[in-house]
Structure 1
Amino acid sequence: MSYVDALPSDEESCFYAEHIEFRPDLAPAVTDDELASILPHCPNILHAQLTGVPDLSSRTLITLAESAPNLTHIDISGCADVTDLGLHALAAHSTSLVSVAINRIYGITDPALAQLVRGLPRLEVLEMDGLPLVTSVAVRDIWLFARGLKRWSMSGCVQVTDSGFPWVPEREQLRPMEDREAASGNLKPRTWLESLPPLVLPGTHKLNALRVLDLSHCVKLTDSAILGIIVYAPYIQHLNLAGCIELSDRAVHAVCALGNHLAAVDIGGLERVTDEGAFALATSCRRLQSVDISFIPKLSDLSVLEFASQPRLERLAAAGLPRLTDEAACFLAEHAFELEMLHLTFCSRITLEGVRAMLRRLTKLQHLGLSGIPAMRRRGVRRFSEAPPEGYDERKRGVYRVFREGKIRALGEFLEKEEWRRRESERMNIPFQPRGDDSRALY
């Protein structure tokens, strides 16, 4: 039996309860004390999502672990009162766990996380986003003991460094660069975490089941970490490296080794990446369905042209590319017929001609983001856009222009009508006056 935002009401219901869920987007439906009083009578719980119990304590988590030995899925993301003691209990009693989500629990430390992965031999999904106290020490244990992982997310773990990832001989090629930086005085003193011995794994010790890896905003990672990841997790399909600001073309070239296994990649915000790296990625991985290359100022039309030639591309985010022009927009219109989502926000050189070309040919578009583009201030365009979010200031952030589903088709028809009016005005040798309605009148 399943219970959503409610607790079992009697002894029989408690016994047969297998799924309890408290959603975080609503007012708390239950308190920590109420949950703790019920859990000892629920021995058959398999799935527990407790994100909607903000005051969840380690006491209650310990009770759950001791009472439900067959627990397979648990999500306690955002339950900030949980401590290492709760994770110790899960490792000791809930050894059947397959999926664990412990995002944004700021008190979790390395010893608890290490014991958790050591005690869960069936672990397949681990979400540990936003854990500021977790370092490379715990990450090394994940590589050693969680070989069955299929999905691993550690976004925003800002203390994790390269030493948490497998060492490969290719790392030695990066040493001359570090030596030059040290000689010039640009290399910072190494911390004890960075001085950990290399994590040398045997060639057969690989995370062959890993399909989804999210390392976004792990700001201390460098190219060396990516080299080891790709060698020891060679079948990744979804890779997120957004905001890892130390990465360069060398890391992108390493990702190319994933080849046709890679279906989705996010390298947004990697300011050191150039057209060379993006071009290599696009030519090596020909089954990409989702690509995010936003806010990489060195990229030009060349990168977008190559990604647009991907035969399966469904989502492309290329926001904040100041060098992007209508040439890229027209190439997308001619080649990326499978696109369903396209973000060109803050690409200020895109004009209405480029937008019209895309709308004419990309018939599968369901979401189009064109915010911050001066050309989209055009009279009559605003009425097709979604309403801006509360607090959005167009004077600071530019125009808000996000179009969805039928509004995309309506925008295309409006721009085609205005183009017809412009041509007719030229033919009749009269001044062209833009209109904001659907009328075809020239005056």
Structure 2
Amino acid sequence: MMSSNISLPNEICYKIISYMDVPDLYNCLTVNSVWCRFILPFLWEKLVFKTLPEFQTFSKALQTFKNAENYCMHSRKLNLSYVSNFVTDGHLSLLSGARNLLRINLSGCTRLTDDMISSILLNNLDILVLDLSGIPKLSTKTMLDALPKLKKLKALSLSRCALLDDSQLKETLVQCKHLKKLKLNDCTSLTEKSLQTLSEYGDLIELDISGCRNMKDPSVLIKALMKQKNLKELNMSGCFYLTDFMDYYTSPSKFCSLRSLNLTGLSELSDNHVLKLCECFPRLQTLYLTKCIQLTDTALAGISNLKTYLTSLHLGHCYEVTDLGIISVLKSCKNLAYVDFGGCFRLTDSSVAEIAKLPRLQRVGLVKCIFLTDISIIHLSNCSSKFLERIHLSYCTGLTPKSISYLMLNCKNLKHLSVTGISSILCTELRAFSRPIPKEINPSQVPIFCAFTREEIDLFRNYINQKII
């Protein structure tokens, strides 16, 4: 490349650098001041640190490079979420010269103070995308002094910000008139007053209020939905008190814009609720009803009316649904690519036979479907879809090693297969090809863990081919 003793035209130096990967650029920062001078401009525009060594090297270079503040003006993106456990006010102060940041992600940076976060926001008032999720100590300094001043803000995440209250959110919604995406999941201090604010201000396309368990008035939610007419994604999982929201909708008009609805964990959700929401949201593409334990085949009859719009359906732990309801949905919704029926223990091979007919199937979840036999695996092995890549069969205790081997050999695009907890498989040579046990796995699952990624599946195929030869 270049050295301090060889003088090359700047254009040639920049051309050489443009062929280098980002990790290599970080490694070269500390070679000498000449290299640093050419490399820093390339790194400044998008400050995304995916590893701690990258972040440490860059921080060290900033501390020793005299013109660092000049390069701050070129920065457009700052993402510290990958190194959130290590970022302090001292690190962020090195970027105090930044004035043109458009995207900031400080998710999980719990060591930063409110004052420092507020300072960097007030220095970059043209921010379009901001993620402050997982910083529970954020308070008035940021919520009232900084956020409302970001007039161009389009996407905001304040997930798990425990101190965020209704008045602070209202001030932001009133001032940030261009806001389109808002994530408030697990902001437990918010109440239905925030829903009332949403019924008066904003034009959102994405809204996440999951885990906001102190929102207790479903009638106000309906008012908010009627205001947010362009809403495409709504996540209200865990909002137990809002379960009856469809009971308050009396208008004959429909919400044709909504594409994704997440009602996970609303255990009191009834068949009638689902029938009405499928009628009011006729173009849903993704529907989460996981752990809605009161649902029966009657609800599935309503889901069938979504027809070709529906591409992803999650019914995990809906214990009362049977083959009859599942088959009805599968025959009507031909474009399903992702189905999760884990824990629907009444299902049999008949449902899987219908699943295997889906022409665009990519992922299927059948965990704890205890009545499935090897016939189900034969159906999946001969699936109509060329895109099937993930299959979850853990705790399907009726399966045998022979059928699983057949599946691994015949599903050519398979990238993930989980068969944890199937004793007949754990004691065979298949276990030897299982992927390494993940660090985050529940300790009780360690002795029975068995899953395969694309690499392990290929190893198994090669092993079988060599045995045949």
Contact 2:334 2:359 survives alignment (8 Å):
yes
Hey, what does 1:144 align to over in structure 2? Answer: 226
Distance 1:300 1:331 in 2: 12
Deviates more, 1:49-58 or 1:93-102: 49-58
Distance 1:374 1:102 in 2: 42
Contact 2:258 2:283 survives alignment (8 Å):
yes
Hey, what does 2:448 align to over in structure 1? Answer: 399
Hey, what does 2:356 align to over in structure 1? Answer: 308
Hey, what does 1:55 align to over in structure 2? Answer: 137
Distance 1:10 1:411, change over 3 A: closer
Hey, what does 2:200 align to over in structure 1? Answer: 118
Hey, what does 2:279 align to over in structure 1? Answer: 231
Contact 1:87 1:116 survives alignment (8 Å):
no
Distance 1:372 1:44 in 2: 52
Distance 1:413 1:355, change over 3 A: farther
1:199 aligns with 2:284: no
Contact 1:275 1:302 survives alignment (8 Å):
yes
Distance 1:353 1:415 in 2: 12
The percentage of aligned residue pairs carrying the same residue is 26
Contact 2:198 2:224 survives alignment (8 Å):
no
Output the amino acid matched with 1:376.
I
Hey, what does 1:261 align to over in structure 2? Answer: 309
Contact 2:199 2:226 survives alignment (8 Å):
no
Distance 1:42 1:399 in 2: 51
Instruction: Give 1:310 shift.
Output: 0.5
Q: TM-score, normalised by structure 2?
A: 0.76
* Contiguous gaps of at least 5 residues in structure 1: 168-197, 421-439
Contact 1:110 1:137 survives alignment (8 Å):
no
Distance 2:137 2:396 in 1: 44
1:19 aligns with 2:69: no
Contact 1:32 1:53 survives alignment (8 Å):
no
More relative contact order, 1 or 2 (CA 8 Å, 6+ apart): 1
- In the alignment of these two chains, the number of paired residues is 382
Instruction: Give 1:288 shift.
Output: 0.7
1:216 aligns with 2:264: yes
Hey, what does 2:298 align to over in structure 1? Answer: 250
Q: Secondary structure at the match of 2:347?
A: coil
Q: Secondary structure at the match of 2:417?
A: strand
Distance 1:256 1:398 in 2: 40
Hey, what does 1:188 align to over in structure 2? Answer: none
Distance 2:257 2:398 in 1: 43
| Alignment RMSD (CA, Å) | 2.2
Hey, what does 2:33 align to over in structure 1? Answer: none
Instruction: Give 1:243 shift.
Output: 0.8
Listed one character per residue, the Cα deviations across residues 176-210 of structure 1 (whole Å, up to 9, x for unaligned) are xxxxxxxxxxxxxxxxxxxxxx4201x33x22111
1:380 aligns with 2:429: yes
Hey, what does 2:79 align to over in structure 1? Answer: 4
Contact 1:273 1:296 survives alignment (8 Å):
yes
1:324 aligns with 2:372: yes
Listed one character per residue, the Cα deviations across residues 101-154 of structure 1 (whole Å, up to 9, x for unaligned) are 00111111001222134210x210001111111231332223221111011111
Hey, what does 2:160 align to over in structure 1? Answer: 78
Q: Secondary structure at the match of 1:160?
A: helix
Q: Which one of 203, 211, 214 corresponds to residue 133 of structure 1?
A: 214
Contact 1:207 1:233 survives alignment (8 Å):
yes
Distance 2:180 2:227 in 1: 14
Contact 2:262 2:287 survives alignment (8 Å):
yes
Q: Which one of 395, 398, 406 corresponds to residue 349 of structure 1?
A: 398
Instruction: Give 1:11 shift.
Output: 7.5
Output the amino acid matched with 2:153.
L
Distance 1:73 1:8 in 2: 24
Distance 1:398 1:281 in 2: 37
Hey, what does 1:158 align to over in structure 2? Answer: 240
Distance 1:83 1:64 in 2: 15
Q: Secondary structure at the match of 1:119?
A: coil
Distance 1:35 1:59 in 2: 9
* Contiguous gaps of at least 5 residues in structure 2: 1-75, 81-90
Q: Secondary structure at the match of 2:380?
A: helix
Distance 1:350 1:381, change over 3 A: same
Distance 1:41 1:32, change over 3 A: same
Distance 2:273 2:101 in 1: 43
Distance 2:396 2:299 in 1: 25
Distance 1:66 1:359 in 2: 54
Distance 1:334 1:302, change over 3 A: same
Distance 1:374 1:413, change over 3 A: farther
Distance 1:118 1:235, change over 3 A: same
Deviates more, 1:282-291 or 1:52-61: 52-61
